[in-house]
Structure formats: C-alpha cells, structure tokens
A = this chain, B = another copy of it.
C-alpha cells in the first residue's frame, strides 16, 4: 500500500530531470540529451527515463517529437487548466468570482501595458482589437481572439508573473461569453477600442480606467443574465 503522499520512482526521476533543465539553464525549445545519455547522467535505467519523460510531457514541461527528440516546452509547466477551474461545479459563482479577480488585476495590468508596450506590441494589440470587433459584428465566435487580446496586454505589462496568471482570464472569457450568449454589445466593442487606444497613447491612467469600464460592463451583463 502506498499513501497518496508517497512519491513513486517516476515522479522522483521527473524532479531530477526538472533540476537538470534548471541547472543546465535549458530554454524553451532546447533539446534534452537522448534517453541513454540522460539515464547515465541520472544513474537510472532507460525505461525509468521513458516513464518520467511521459509524466513531464503530460505536465507540458517537455514536448516529445517522434523521431526527433525531447524538447523543453514553449511555456514549460503550464497545462490547459492549471488552476483546476474545470472542477469547480458552481459555474455562475465561479464566473462572478473570476470577474472579481479580473477587477483586481486587469486595470493595473492595462496601466503597466500602457507604460511598457513596445511599438510592435501596440500594433499586435490593435490588430487583435480589430479582429475581435470584426467577429463580434459578424455574430461569429470571438472567444479565442478576445483571449488573445487580453493575453497580449498581459504580456506587454512586462511583469513576469502576469503571463502565468492568464488562465484566470482564459478560463473566465468563454465562461462569460457562454453565460451572456455571445450577443453583440456595442459597449464591448467600444471599451475594447478605448483600452487599445490608451495603450497605444502610452496613457496608463486612461488604460486603467478603460479596462475598469470594460469590466463594469461585463459585470452588468453577467448580473442581468444570472438574475433572469
């Protein structure tokens, strides 16, 4: 009998491989040594390495390309739903609670983006804003573009932790669009546009307030929807 806390061999070897990646300062896209070299370095068998690599791949720390090798993933350690929001049953409360977190984070992030975005990033934010608007006007699903828009703003903030927190937004957006039935609202278009313009103008206060307005608009929609 093993207890839930008892860690098995594959997990210990995965940790050794993680430490190897850190110690050798391997970056995303870098190739790991092949199975037999790794087995020798860590003093374990090749089949143990193979099992450990499978675990690391399932946690998106490494990516195995058949016939080519094992590489450090592009966002190592981040899986689709890293914070386990999928397993929270009450989706109405979750949507409201995630929105509350967005109120705390996103206006400040937008302000930082206005201060720190490069010209290249500003062009990208504007492009994503236009593409989201286009999909909204055509009544098409704008979920993915909307997430990309908010993610680009997060990255432009230059805070290293922010891109890692994006699951809060990437999980909240489709939940929200689903609850509000993807109906076109002029305010969504207008507030998105104002955020993009404020960042392009490098105006942190205006970016902060525009993001706040956007979130207030979202909260009113969600409240109207869940009270019906």
Q: Which residues of A contact B (CB under 8 A)?
A: 1-4, 11, 14, 18, 21-22, 25, 54-55, 58-59, 61, 63, 65-68, 73, 75-79, 81-90, 93-94, 97-98, 100-101, 104-105, 108, 159-162, 164-165, 167-168
Contact = CB atoms under 8 A, between A and B. Distances in A.
B165 A101 contact: yes
Contacts of A93: 160
Given A58-B58, A161-B85, A2 B101 contact: no
A223 B109 CA distance: 21
15 contacts: A4-B73, A54-B55, A58-B59, A59-B79, A75-B84, A76-B84, A77-B81, A77-B82, A77-B83, A79-B82, A83-B167, A85-B164, A90-B160, A104-B104, A104-B108
Contacts of A65: 1-4
Nearest to A99: B161
A94 B161 contact: yes
Contacts of A1: 65-68
A97 B4 contact: no
A63 B11 CA distance: 13
- Counted per complex, copies of this chain come to 2
A173 to B, nearest CB: 14
A21 B84 CA distance: 13
A121 to B, nearest CB: 17
Contacts of A61: 84, 87
A218 to B, nearest CB: 15
Given A1-B67, A81-B77, A83-B77, A101 B159 contact: yes
Nearest to A71: B4
Given A65-B4, A78-B84, A101 B168 contact: no
Contact of A101 (B87, B98, B161): B161
A62 to B, nearest CB: 10
Contact of A18 (B2, B22, B82, B86): B86
